[in-house]
Amino acid sequence: MLEHYTSSQSIRTNFDGAAFSTYALMSVVVPLQLWGRVQRNGFTGLGWDDCSVILALASANVFFWASVVGVRPWVGLHYPAQVSDRDLGTFLQSAFAAQLAMATSPFFSKADLLVLYWRLFSVKRPTYLLVLWLVLLLWFLETLLGALLPCKLMGSAMGPTHYGIACFHKYFWIGSAGVGIATDIAMLAMPVSTVWKLNAPFAQRLVVICAFGLGAFVTVVTVFRLANMVSEKSMNDPTFDFSDSMIWIVAEIHCSVVCSCLPSIRPATMGLARTCTCLTSHSYPQQQAPDGTWQPLPAPIPLDTTQACHGKREDSIWRGPVEKVSIPSSDSKSRTTR
């Protein structure tokens, strides 16, 4: 009994580390992307890719809270020795809600990248993008219907009876993960050839390719999840058998949202760096005094500092006008001495 308790505690610790760390990162990166778009072009600069990432964030929040509130307390425990029928019903209901979010959040994360790709590469590779869109839509419908239809009017998902039929379909999720990996690889390979042909330095092209290739991390996580599900011999004890896969799933969901935002957050990071530099810098412009020495201008008004950082007139940030100092030339000095 003590070994089972220690094992369940270890599983929950791993689950907490994967869930809360990636959730915090996701909660920072998505608003950062939206803030960068608004700062650059206003609210009119928001596009369909921003709508997609907002929907992905909402679905990921549903998955996170369903997993933390309804799944986590019984992860790693054995049914029926340590989990009652009532607790198993709560576990299955939460797992059902998490499954629906698991189908929608990766779809909107991939859609965010595809909208960005369409804006950048639709002129050169429209057919490739249209095929990717078609495959992605079919994959989304297959995943969503696969989570809904086998639940027999959802009755078996709401109670402990027939729990093996309700929410855990091993081979279905293995096939779904395989299609997801294939779409990830196709999306990662798509911008490489176009970026490589750009008339730019090698280092710059490499940086751009790496920015688009950060989604490979999600593909690696999906591969680990797939390998873990293949190694599972049965799902007759869902609270225990599904525990290791749940850790990989929560990391995959959150990281997919983060990686879909990474190619678009450069304007936001540059804006933050520019704002921090303007607020913390002490090297202000100088003026020449009558005695010939250079003295700093009065300190800027903090309220207008951000306006100066965003390309507006810099003379509006100083207190009072700068007096023009006329220094006599050498010819006038020579005439006065004579």
User: For residue range 170-208, what is the model confidence (pLDDT) as tens digits?
Assistant: 677 778 888 888 888 888 888 777 778 777 787 877 877
Residue carrying structure tokens 């909402």: 58
Length of the chain: 338
CB 20 within 8 A of CB 43: no
Q: Which stretch of DSSP H or E encloses residue 64?
A: helix 48-66
The tens digit of pLDDT for each residue in 205-230 reads 787 777 777 778 888 888 888 887 77
Write down the pLDDT at residue 231: 75
Mean pLDDT per block of 10 residues along the chain (338 residues) reads 59 89 91 82 80 92 91 85 83 86 90 85 80 90 78 46 50 79 85 78 78 79 81 72 84 89 75 64 56 58 41 39 46 48
pLDDT value of position 64: 93
Which domains, from first to last, does the chain contain? 2-272 (1.20.1070), 285-337 (no CATH)
DSSP 8-state assignment for residue 242: T
As a whole-number percent, the residues of the chain with pLDDT over 90 amount to: 9
Strands 294-296 and 286-288: antiparallel
The span from the CA of 307 to the CA of 309, in Å, is 5
pLDDT in tens, 26-46: 999 988 888 878 877 777 778
